[in-house]
Structure 1
């Protein structure tokens, strides 16, 4: 009986297997799959809701053009900046959803990157202008903008747009459609040359300092002074309407943009040349998600107006019903350009009381003509 065992076939078919090259981790696949679904879905919702809300907002402002106020000037510029951002959202949604990534030309890449930062700069700087006006009016009883000088509001908005365009110059220069051979995808990213590494630091510092930290410090200082003045005032409840919409606007702006700016600061500190060739690193993924969250404010701002401003709701309903409603009162209750008188001291209150007593004791014109005094009746001749 032959007891030999033939092991030749077993060793002939033995071969090595490179798991690093041929095996795709399930977690990475699921991560890319979730990005390709969630981020385009978020961009699509922001695009539809934002265009609808800002479209109705501009329609209301067009109907109200005969009673244009200083607040309307800032609202229009904020809405225009939001619409420019919303138009670019389908391009970024396509980049996240399509396997090829950025399938458009490099010029659209530069435009989309510049518009993204222009919207951010315009949003925070215009809020600074409105907040400074409220600070000067409530705390110092000085009007920065007024109905008698509407050109100052237009000049301020033009200066804001100019500053935003200047701060967005690095996006026009360094935004390119870069192809990554390892992932076989093309992405719209910043590409700095080896000799231009300092330009990345300069552009990031400009964004962090001039675009975020300094305006944020101005907003926090002005709003804290306003709230302290209103809380310590006997007429604070009457004056709170002037910032009833301003506080939610600033709060929503920071809630939407704070995660992106914090992630960008971390990326600036921890960035290395190796990270430039890794488009799917943890920080890159975080920047993509937080930038989508930052764009959410473009569709939330009209919803804030709709929920907080009663006059704006009435005008929206009139627009949808195709009926004309003319009102000279403010739609937004921002109080921009409206004078707020300072609190009166003891002397002013005493003078006000004396004035009220005089008005109460002084007879009116009808009393002078119909009330007898010292037996003499004062009457008005007929026909007069």
Structure 2
């Protein structure tokens, strides 16, 4: 007699969780994604302008920042499609579903891998005084970045294969989702494989590398003399590490719990189902904000970028002032010459 009651409670909890999650997403997520798109494009645009101004004196880190900028910008361009899907369902067709899903996955992986490359370069340079790339051979840096892009493209193959526009029978909405039954494959095996690939390759390994590299850098800096430049370098490193983990750790922990929950490793209850659905929506939105923070963290925190940005903005204001003055003088002369 308890089995039907438990089943009914579970189904009711699932429906309630989906309704609460849908209401949260339909109101909050599209607004957040719109703001992220505007702020991200503005920040990446300013970084690109500064990099163009400094193109003759690019450092190795600047090259990584350029590729990171491209990855973040392409990732931002997918946000309107996901916001539209949340608001009214996916109405762009299966080909665009595959394209947007693959672009999102490629640039998501690429952003994390490039951050890891930056940490490795800084670790070797500061701790071991080893330069992986020489200034005279910048093609090696671009070759490394292209290798990262290629690996990320290979990791997106499941998205090209399984993503489809499908109708959700429970919510009666059209979604861009994975259809593992399309090629008569095991749904459970592919879901578990894709989840653990994301957990291990997309978060755990890069996190371990970044923690090791930046911890070693901090220990090396603390052992030396505490000059102003070193104190500023320590502050920048702490900001970078904290921002990465603050944005992505909550989502990845929630996703790991959800994976264990789906595999019956953890006990499945009505309350846990509701909480996981809400946490996944909230923590995913927090993770997407990281692509807006990258321009600030990897460019404007540095003194050189901030200096050139202020110079560029001042020059723009001067041009505006000159234009206003010329316009005012011309108007005044015109009024004098009028009869």
Contact kept, 8 Å, 2:60 with 2:141, in 1: the verdict is yes
- Secondary structure of 1:176's match? strand
1:46 aligns with one of 36, 43, 56: 36
Match of 1:79 in 2: 69
TM-aligned CA deviation for residue 282 of structure 1: 5.4
Deviations 1:174-195 (A, max 9, x none): 2222201232101122222263
Cα distance, 1:308 vs structure 2 = 2.0
Residues 312/221 of structure 1: CA separation in 2 closer, same or farther (3 Å cut)? same
Aligned to 1:188: 176
Partner of 2:54: 64
* TM-score using structure 1 length: 0.69
Q: Number of matched residues?
A: 294
Select between 242-251 and 114-123 the one with higher mean Cα deviation. 242-251
CA contact (8 A) 1:230 1:236 kept: no
Bigger Rg over Cα: 1
**In 2 relative to 1, CA 128–31 (structure 1 residues): closer, same or farther, beyond 3 Å?**
closer
State the Cα deviation string for residues 197-231 of structure 1 (Å, max 9, x = none).
Answer: 32222222222222221121111111111111211
1:305–1:312 CA contact under 8 A, matched in 2: no
1:120-151 C-alpha deviation (Å, 9 max, x unpaired): 21122112211112211222221122313322
SS at match of 2:185: helix
Match for residue 141 of structure 2?
153
Segment of structure 1 superposing worse, 45-54 or 304-313? 304-313
> 1:217 and 1:26 mapped to 2: Cα distance?
37
In 2, Cα distance between the equivalents of 1:187 and 1:281? Answer: 21
Q: How does 1:1-384 map to 2 (within 5 A)?
A: 32-98=22-88, 101-193=89-181, 195-197=185-187, 198-235=189-226, 238-242=229-233, 244-271=235-262, 283-305=276-298, 308-322=301-315
Q: Which moved more, 1:315-324 or 1:33-42?
A: 315-324
List runs of 5+ in structure 1 lacking aligned partners. Answer: 1-24, 325-384
2:203 & 2:300 partners in 1: Cα distance?
Answer: 27
Distance 1:210 1:133, change over 3 A: same
Name the structure 2 match of 1:8.
Answer: none
**C-alpha distance in 2, partners of 1:30/1:257?**
23
Provide the C-alpha distance between the structure 1 equivalents of 2:34 and 2:144, rounded to a whole number of angstroms.
Answer: 33
Tell me how far apart the structure 2 counterparts of residues 29 and 217 of structure 1 sit (CA, whole Å).
37
- Structure 1 residues 223 and 306 mapped into 2: Cα distance closer, same or farther (>3 Å)? closer
| 3-state secondary structure, aligned to 1:104 | coil
Aligned-partner Cα distance in 1 for 2:157–2:274: 26
Measured against aligned partners, the alpha-carbon deviations of 1:41-74 in whole angstroms (never above 9, x if no partner) come to 1101101111111111111111221222212101
TM-score by length of 2: 0.77
Write 1 or 2 for the structure with the bigger share of helix.
2
- Counterparts of 1:188 and 1:309, CA distance in 2: 40
* 8 A contact 2:39–2:292 mirrored in 1: yes
Question: For the Cα contact (< 8 Å) 1:230–1:237, is it kept in 2?
Answer: no
RMSD after superposition: 2.8
For 2:16 and 2:229, the matched residues in 1 are separated by 60
